[in-house]
Amino acid sequence: MKLGIIGLPQSGKTTIYNALTRNNTPTTASAGRIEVHTGVVDVPDERITILSKMFNPKKTIYAKVTYADIAGLDGGSKGISGSLLNTLSQMDAFVHVVRCFEDDNVPHPNGQVSPAKDLDSMLTELLLNDQIAVERKLEKLVDERKKGGTDKALNERQTTLFTRMLESLNNNVPLRRMEFNAEEEKELSSFGLLTRKPILTVLNLGEGQKVPELQTDHTVVSLPGKLEMEIAQLSGEDAEMFMSEYGITEPALNKMIKLSYELLNLQSFFTVGEDEVRAWTTRKNATAVESAGEIHSDIARGFIRAEVVAYEDLVGLGSMAECKAKGKFRLEGKEYLVKDGDIVHIRSSL
């Protein structure tokens, strides 16, 4: 799972990136150059901590999320360049950083801090990019019909689909708000349309600044980016002292990482044992065999059954033996829909 951190110049993208990944990437502007910095972080999950205490394994592995700090977007009218578009298309979702802080030493590229205007500018640029891409696809479909020799049914199906998307975009409605069936999802999987991707907006506040009211169609989280970056780069003990001084009970970034994970409709299931306690990532409503594939493709191919215990039952009863005794240990087949927090052991012939 990879989320691209985007935003206008001087919005604090790299500050947020550093806070999330505990990196120390320079926060100076890139002068329009396309730069991408990547970092992987653990998804905070108290359940893993509790399971690790229960089983005392050799290794404890949390679910992961990857963030990419992407420079180069300026919200201008020139559109998105090919190389930058290729980078953006590879992301599973976007974290859009909107500047709210005032700082005379960090001039706003438009001369004035205006969160609502900056939010609209970036969302409009993504939407215009998709409009151009969809219009080009429709023109190509017309040319194919004129030349003949193409799959007429496919051409007709795609024409209907892309015409519907263009109508949505022309009405300033991003494609993430449209519903697509499984066949359409497959058709669109290779197009990398930007407004189809889930988006999380981060309001980058100054210290003590109130949260501005913004109208959006998606999730918004606010945090003081500079302060959170400073906390993230301290040792554990120093960070606790710092947070206590500022009355912070938990880094806001923990919430943001969890929201990033949920943004893509993902959930965790767990495998436990003396060697390893681990959180695995799978989509919500994934089947047991699909989830087995997240562990290893061979395990999915040789799937026999899944041994399942709910997290709450295991923690509440205290052991696997007690779960079996109380009838909370279940055998499930390929089509079982794995639930968030399930402890799963896959029996496989391979």
Q: Where are the domains of the chain?
A: 285-348
CATH class of the domain at 285-348: alpha beta
Using 50, 70 and 90 to split pLDDT, how confident is the model at 235? confident
DSSP 202-215: EEEPPTTPPPPP--
What's the mean pLDDT in 100-111?
Answer: 88
- The mean pLDDT of the chain is 90
Write b or e for each residue in 6-28: b if 16 or more Cβ atoms lie within 10 A of its Cβ, otherwise e: bbbbbbbbbbbbbbbbebeeebe
In this structure, which amino acid lies at residue 340? Answer: D
pLDDT tens digits, one per residue of 241-253: 888 887 777 777 7
pLDDT tens digits, one per residue of 36-95: 899 999 998 999 999 999 999 999 999 999 999 997 677 655 667 778 888 999 999 999
DSSP 66-127: EEEEE------SS---HHHHHHHHT-SEEEEEEE----TTS--TTSS--HHHHHHHHHHHHH
In this structure, which amino acid lies at residue 43? Answer: V
| pLDDT at 79 (0 to 100) | 64
Q: How many helices (H) and strands (E) does the chain have?
A: 13, 12
Angle at 159 between CA 155 and CA 161, to 5 degrees: 120
pLDDT tens digits, one per residue of 123-167: 999 999 999 999 999 999 999 988 877 788 899 999 999 999 999
pLDDT tens digits, one per residue of 176-211: 999 999 899 988 988 889 999 999 999 999 988 898
CA gap 278, 285 in Å, rounded: 20
Output phi, psi for 305, to 5 deg.
-165, 165
| pLDDT at 233 (0 to 100) | 83
Which residue reads 């927090």 in tokens? 341
